[in-house]
Amino acid sequence: MNWKGRSVLITGATGLVGTWLTRRLIGLNASVVCLVRGPVTQDLRAVQGDIRDRTLLDRVIMDHHIDTVFHLAAQTAVGIANRNPVSTFETNIAGTWNLLEACRLSPLVKSIVVASSDKAYGRQPILPYTEDMPLDGRHPYDASKSCSDILAQTYAATYGLPVAITRCGNFYGGGDMNWNRLVPGTIRSILQGERPVIRSDGHYQRDYLYVEDSVQAYLTLASRLRQDTHLRGRAFNFSNESRVSVLEMVRLILRQMESTLEPDIRNESSNEIREQFLNAERARTELGWRAEFTLEEGLRRTIAWYREYFAGGKDDRSRELAVAHPLAC
């Protein structure tokens, strides 16, 4: 798909994936509008506001003649969701229906990609997860993603809205400054000569998707959605299909950084699913997408990014974009 001149709205543009997606689309000469909660930077064509503001969303989509929407905005921190479920539901669920309704009322929107999560499946008895499994989130964050996922399917089934859904595992890559997340927190600790902290017992299993692979997944789905009406309401798992435990991930980072530090295993986690990983066969067969980066190569690139960042090698623009708010909208 030729993105040149195409009018694109990205919600959650200051999060990890949103930052990389924004840069990629600008590089492809798309006309990108970002909805951001914080101050509007001079380099970004951004609108300051909240995903829960329906009137604002109506205006942004109409005024900027938006043709493609990437909905990444969400409250993504599990701990915050457990402590304050209502704000999580308001952002993740109400924010999603506000955006979908604004898109429904616009005759110009041709493609909408809504970011769900592997957490939307809840705890399933069979692994890996496939897209035909029920959505069964039981804890606040998981339930919010189940609901927003179903809302996207509802708007496709009832109104024919050109929307599709991504379900991904844990993202990682350069620019994530949420140090409570495993990969950036571990890398920063090692660079500072401190033992990396594992909040769980270390045996929780996940799959991890490098941020550049996730960006390509979003672009591929948005492009195909414009052409294939049968993709409306469809959900796709995106994964490199390589499951790894938290402890294995930390030890892999330690080896790549040639560190002799030992992890600090605290076993404090609660309301988290022990094993979650995805089958991405549907994305491979229907979209022709597959992860380009192995876990080892993605980590090498990520570690190199943070080494340069902490050495002061990243320019001010990179530092400005390298943010990962718990509420990335």
* Least confident residue range of 32-46, 165-179, 223-237: 32-46
Please give the pLDDT value at position 94.
Answer: 98
Which position among 141, 172, 204, 309 bears the catalytic label?
141
Q: What is the torsion angle, in degrees rounded to the nearest 10, for the CA atoms of residue 223, residue 70, residue 17 and residue 211? A: -20
Contact 234, 164 (CB under 8 A): yes
Beta bridge partners of 207: 243
SS3 category, 291: coil
CA-to-CA distance for 25 and 7, rounded, in angstroms?
A: 10
What are the tokens at 102? 């604004």
Active site residue 172: no
SS3 category, 268: coil
SS3 category, 225: helix
DSSP string, 127-141: SSB-TTSPP---SHH
The pLDDT > 90 percentage for the chain reads 86
SS3 category, 267: coil
Provide the terminal-to-terminal Cα distance of the chain, rounded to the nearest Å.
Answer: 26
Confidence class of residue 324 from pLDDT cuts 50, 70 and 90?
Answer: very low
What domains sit in the chain, N to C, each tagged with a CATH number? 7-175+208-241+277-291+316-321 (3.40.50.720)
* Interval 229-287: pLDDT, tens: 999 999 999 999 999 999 999 999 999 999 999 999 998 877 678 899 999 999 999 99
CA-to-CA distance for 232 and 227, rounded, in angstroms?
A: 10
* Interval 129-160: pLDDT, tens: 999 999 999 999 999 999 999 999 999 999 99
CA-to-CA distance for 324 and 329, rounded, in angstroms?
A: 10
